[in-house]
Amino acid sequence: MTVATAAPVHTGSLSRRMMLIAFGWIAVLLLAGGFALDRTMTNLVEKNFDEQLGYMLTAMVASAEIASDGEVYFIRPLGDQRFLEPNSGLYWQISGDGHDDYPSRSLWDRTLQVRGDHADSQIHIYDSNQFPGEPLRIAERSITLPGSDVRWWFTVAASRGELDSQLSRIRSILYWSFAVLGLGLFGMAMLQTWYGLGPLRGVRRAIQTMRASGRNRVSDPLPLEVQPLVEELNSLLAHSEKQAEEARTHAGNLAHALKTPLTVLTNAATAHDPQLSDLVCRETKTMQRHVEHHLARARAVGRRATGHSRAEVWPSVEAVLRAVTRIYEDTRFDLDGNADAVVSIERQDLDEILGNLIENAAKYGGGSVFVTVDAEPDAEACTIWVEDDGMGIPQAERIRIFDRGARLDTGKPGTGLGLAIVRDVAEIYGGEVSLGESEDLGGLLVRLTLPRAG
């Protein structure tokens, strides 16, 4: 039965996010810009319209005189022909307390309602709906003419129809212009999103091609912003290849290590060897040690993959010393150094490494083992020394001794895997192991270097 793989959880479309953000900003800017431009154009048109009314009102005042009967009259006619056409939309009127209104012919039988409850020494402009169906824009001013004590109200009124028509045309132009501009910007945002995310589609195609063709790297040229992603992807692929190769190598090594003991057992069983039981015990211990070795490597690789490994060295050394002291009661163990040293390794793997080193020092030493934690405190890495007073290891054998199964003293029990485990696990965490000669005890000096925890 095939188990369906759940689709990975995603957080939505990146293209949709970018387009929504672009559309939102474009809409906000267009609306704000359109409103501001509409207000500006409206104010300019109204200002121009009001200035024309103001010019007409000033011309009225300049042409007005007081007749001998106290009534006002114009010494010269106003120039705009619309003042003479009934209901033309342009009107004037002069009003004074105790006097009849003096209207333009264009008013015909209508009268402008003058607000005479206050004085306007300057031109006052306002809107009025006093004529049904014909909104007016009115400019008025109160003035006392020479030869008269009466306050006269000079009023010019114009229908807002022309003004509103101009404003409607301007708003229509603005609306269609901003609509076309908005569509163009939206189209550009979509094109930019599609083009800008093109490299990511290229990475996807490259991965598909890599999976189909067997290539192991993404080598297509890509923009600078995407190149770090590709480099990390290639690094991940290289890491996966390395882990796969290590897994194949360890599987082959384990198979090779178990092959010889199995062959020995098979031959002994076929030949009905009378010492078969002893042989089985010995060879199965060897196979068990090989399996433990490779399991230790596998565990170390798995723990390293999780990252953020930390272990305090001093408590680990003390725990190992307590365990080894029970086995080698006649051996003297000394511990010195930095009790606060912390290394970037899992505690179980650190115990495994130190256990092998200290147990070997007790087994092959002469009765004294000296452990120094952080022996080089100024170094970037933490160095742990394990010294004994045994026979040591010749210079020529110090590299070979790390091979699996290598043993110099075959008279003592063991499989020769201890130092191999130490080297392999230390290298997995970025550390190293080297051998030297102890200046204080005269025996072997094992120098274990591990990265410090950040």
Domain ranges for the chain, please list them: 12-196, 231-306, 311-451
Q: pTM to 2 decimals?
A: 0.50
The confidence score (pLDDT) of residue 408 equals: 43
Confidence of residue 385 (pLDDT cuts 50, 70, 90): very high
* Placement of tokens 């400019």 in the chain: 139
Of the pLDDT bands very low, low, confident and very high (cuts 50, 70, 90), residue 274 is confident
Give the integer Cα–Cα distance in Å for 132 and 109: 14
SS3 state of residue 17:
helix
Could you tell me the pLDDT band of residue 411, with boundaries at 50, 70 and 90? very low
pLDDT digits (tens, 9 = 90+) for 130-170: 888 899 999 999 888 888 888 889 999 999 988 889 899 99
338 versus 114: the higher-pLDDT residue is 338
CATH of domain 311-451: 3.30.565.10
- Helix 276-306 vs helix 418-428: crossing angle, to nearest 10: 10
Rounded Cα gap, residues 216 and 27, in angstroms: 46
In angstroms, the Cα distances linking 30 to 41, 64, 179 are 16, 51, 9
**End-to-end distance of the chain based on CA atoms, in angstroms?**
48
Region of poorest pLDDT, from 35-44, 81-90, 303-312: 303-312
The residue written with tokens 């106290």 in the block is: 70
